[in-house]
Chain A
């Protein structure tokens, strides 16, 4: 067992983990941050996407010890300081960008990573960026719409309700 320390959503967090402990397990089981969902556990589905030093990664495919000393961001850290939804989360609600909600934490974290690098992505760029985030409910249309809306773009012309 090894001591691991990182900053999670701006607060320092530490624990004792095995070499094989995944970042997703550390966040969920030791820190209680169960918003990071584990869907497939094979790095296909993207429900576990978190930010490590500002970059989107799949927390189920990264060892906790690899994140030692890193700045980690999870869905729990996305809301505004007063607890209200941030612009991406609000857009998902406004545009019904979810049904069952299981994939949503990963979708929001991926969307945040995309908009950081590309503040006004095209619909095609959004769809391309979400290649590693699988949603089995929505058919993606409203997720894409929500992300476009979150970037301040007009979404009235986007098809499919």
Chain B
């Protein structure tokens, strides 16, 4: 790692101020950023740790609305969120990683194989920052790219708990255990939403054809004639475009079957 200054403010306002410096970078749990720094793929002048900010912690459900602090760890989400999202969080990384990694950090990074983006899209989550509220549909803008401005911090995430249930199906890449493909299906108050991660060159996306079919008829067979377009898929040594396209459909069917 190159040398950097370090600050650990205790309020969002102090963190925002500390991030004004040129090349300052927010630090969530560091489970992606620290390995990235070790490889010298990033060289911030200063890290601003968000771990000391009490107002960004905690997970609560009130009146069907789930609120997750941007600084909540995956372990905390696994313990306290609604069941489908808790199950997703319980399968991120390994236990020690889950004790450090945060939802805000994961969303801000928008790794194309991260689990949370698929869930945020399918649940129609609202990403709340120090300056504004961003709908998940507008937040994810391609691989490692989000709507966040320089120095903007994800302070919390708000989700209407889906009344019809939800389920996440993850096909793990066997070495890294990241999602080769992951599909989150949710029956929200505004209809069925399908979020896909790991598959597309453009990062997490909604599979709108499947949503349309499942809104007409919520059963596996509704997906029978649908074929995700291989042209938009990632191709690498772990799987071809066609394989990923196939997995998208299979995992969507499994998620639908699991919701019942």
Task: Find out whether the CB atom of A132 lies under 8 angstroms from the CB atom of B4.
Answer: no
Query: Which listed residue (A18, A42, A65, A132) contacts B94, Cβ 8 A?
Result: A132
Chain A residues near B46 (CB-CB < 8 A): 19
Task: Determine how close the nearest CB of chain B comes to the CB of A65; give it in whole angstroms.
Answer: 5
Assembled-state Cα–Cα distance A65/B27 (Å): 12
Task: Find out whether the CB atom of B96 lies under 8 angstroms from the CB atom of A66.
Answer: no
Interface residue? B5 (CB, 8 A):
yes
Query: Which listed residue (B37, B49, B75, B93) contacts A20, Cβ 8 A?
Result: B37
Interface residue? B99 (CB, 8 A):
yes
- Among A18, A49, A56, A110, the one with the most B-chain Cβ atoms within 10 Å of its Cβ is A56
Chain A residues near B8 (CB-CB < 8 A): 65-66, 68
Assembled-state Cα–Cα distance A3/B177 (Å): 38
- Among B2, B49, B100, the one with the most A-chain Cβ atoms within 10 Å of its Cβ is B100
Chain B residues near A43 (CB-CB < 8 A): 31, 34-35, 96-97
Task: Determine how close the nearest CB of chain B comes to the CB of A79; give it in whole angstroms.
Answer: 22
Task: Find out whether the CB atom of A41 lies under 8 angstroms from the CB atom of B97.
Answer: no
Task: Determine how close the nearest CB of chain A comes to the CB of B37; give it in whole angstroms.
Answer: 7
Task: Determine how close the nearest CB of chain B comes to the CB of A58; give it in whole angstroms.
Answer: 5
Chain B residues near A19 (CB-CB < 8 A): 3-6, 46-47
Task: Find out whether the CB atom of A18 lies under 8 angstroms from the CB atom of B95.
Answer: no
Chain A residues near B5 (CB-CB < 8 A): 19
- C-beta contact mask, B117-143 vs A, less than 8 Å → 1, else 0? 000000000000000000000000000
Given A41-B38, A43-B31, A43-B35, check contact A63 B93 (CB 8 Å).
no
Task: Find out whether the CB atom of A42 lies under 8 angstroms from the CB atom of B47.
Answer: no
Task: Find out whether the CB atom of A56 lies under 8 angstroms from the CB atom of B99.
Answer: yes
Assembled-state Cα–Cα distance A113/B100 (Å): 14
Assembled-state Cα–Cα distance A133/B93 (Å): 12
Assembled-state Cα–Cα distance A38/B140 (Å): 35
- Chain A contact residue count (CB 8 A cutoff): 28
Chain B residues near A41 (CB-CB < 8 A): 38
Taking CB atoms and an 8 Å cut-off, the chain A residues in 65-111 that contact chain B are 65-66, 68, 110
Task: Determine how close the nearest CB of chain B comes to the CB of A66; give it in whole angstroms.
Answer: 6
Interface residue? A123 (CB, 8 A):
no
Task: Find out whether the CB atom of A46 lies under 8 angstroms from the CB atom of B6.
Answer: no
Chain B residues near A58 (CB-CB < 8 A): 96-97, 100
Interface residue? B1 (CB, 8 A):
yes
Given A46-B94, A56-B96, check contact A18 B35 (CB 8 Å).
no
Chain A residues near B177 (CB-CB < 8 A): 131
- C-beta contact mask, B14-45 vs A, less than 8 Å → 1, else 0? 00000000000001001100110110000000
Interface residue? A138 (CB, 8 A):
no
Given A43-B97, A110-B95, A132-B94, check contact A61 B6 (CB 8 Å).
no
Chain A residues near B30 (CB-CB < 8 A): 61-63, 66
What are the 5 tightest A-B residue pairs by CB atom distance, in nearest-first order? A132-B94, A19-B6, A131-B94, A20-B1, A55-B99
Q: Which A residues contact B (CB, under 8 angstroms)?
A: 2, 18-20, 22, 41-43, 46, 49, 52, 55-58, 61-63, 65-66, 68, 110, 113-114, 129, 131-133
Q: Which B residues contact A (CB, under 8 angstroms)?
A: 1-6, 8, 27, 30-31, 34-35, 37-38, 46-47, 49, 51, 75, 93-97, 99-100, 177
A–B Cβ pairs within 8 angstroms, 28 of them: A2-B6, A18-B3, A19-B3, A19-B4, A19-B47, A20-B1, A22-B34, A42-B38, A43-B31, A55-B75, A56-B95, A57-B100, A58-B100, A61-B30, A62-B34, A63-B30, A63-B49, A66-B8, A66-B49, A66-B51, A110-B95, A114-B95, A131-B95, A131-B177, A132-B93, A132-B94, A132-B96, A132-B97
5 further interface pairs, Cβ-Cβ under 8 Å (given A19-B46, A66-B49, A66-B51): A55-B75, A57-B96, A65-B8, A113-B95, A132-B97
